[in-house]
Amino acid sequence: MKLPFEIGDHSIGLPWASDDSQPIRVMLIDDDKDEASLTRSLLAHVKDIRYELDWVGSFEEGVDSIARDEHDAFLIDHNLGKRTGIELVRGAREAGSLAALIMLTGQRDRATDIAAMDAGATDFLMKGRTDAALLDRTLRYAITQAAMLAALDRSRAQMAGLEELGRILVEEGPTPTTIEHIVDLIVERFGLHQIAIYLADGDLLRLAGQHGYGEPLTTLSRVDSSIERVTRAGQPIFVPSMVEPGASGTGNVVASELSVPLLVAGELVGLMNVASFVTAPIGEEDHSAIRLVADRLTAALAVVRERTITEERLMKAQEELRGGNHPPLPDGITDDQTSAYLRPFLEPLVEVAIAGARMHPERKVGLLLVAWDGDEAAAGALLASQ
Q: Which of 95, 93, 59 is nearest to 76 (CA)?
A: 59
pLDDT for res 6: 33
The answer to whether residues 306 and 300 touch, using CB atoms and an 8 Å cutoff, is no
**Averaged pLDDT score across all residues of the chain:** 76
Mean pLDDT of 313-333: 61
Which pLDDT band holds residue 323 (cuts at 50, 70, 90)?
low
Q: How far, in Å, are 71, 102, 110 from residue 55 at the CA level?
A: 11, 14, 27
Q: Rounded CA gap, 107 and 98, in Å? A: 26
In this structure, of 44-53, 73-82, 328-337, the range with the lowest mean pLDDT score is 328-337
Residue 186 has pLDDT above 80, yes or no: yes
CA atoms within 13 A on the CB side of 191: 20
Residues near 346 by beta carbon (within 8 Å), at least 6 away in sequence: 333, 338, 379
Q: Rounded CA gap, 280 and 85, in Å? A: 32
Q: Which of 307, 218, 225, 233 is nearest to 263 (CA)?
A: 233
Residue 3 has pLDDT above 50, yes or no: no
Which pLDDT band holds residue 4 (cuts at 50, 70, 90)?
very low
Mean pLDDT of 144-160: 82
Q: Rounded CA gap, 384 and 147, in Å? A: 64
Q: Which of 3, 238, 233, 187 is nearest to 100 (CA)?
A: 3
Strands 242-244 and 267-277: unpaired
Whether the predicted model's global pTM rises above the 0.95 cut? no
> Alpha helix (H) ranges present in the chain?
33-44, 59-68, 85-94, 110-119, 132-172, 176-190, 225-233, 284-323, 343-359
- pLDDT tens digits, one per residue of 210-234: 988 888 889 988 888 878 888 888 8
pLDDT for res 62: 94
- pLDDT tens digits, one per residue of 101-146: 999 987 667 788 888 889 999 998 988 888 999 999 999 999 999 8
Neighbours of 326 (CB within 10 A): 13
Mean pLDDT of 278-285: 65
Residue 190 has pLDDT above 70, yes or no: yes
Mean pLDDT of 63-67: 95
Residue ranges with strand state E in 178-251: 195-201, 204-211, 219-221, 237-239, 242-244
pLDDT for res 325: 52
Strands 252-264 and 364-372: unpaired
pLDDT for res 222: 83
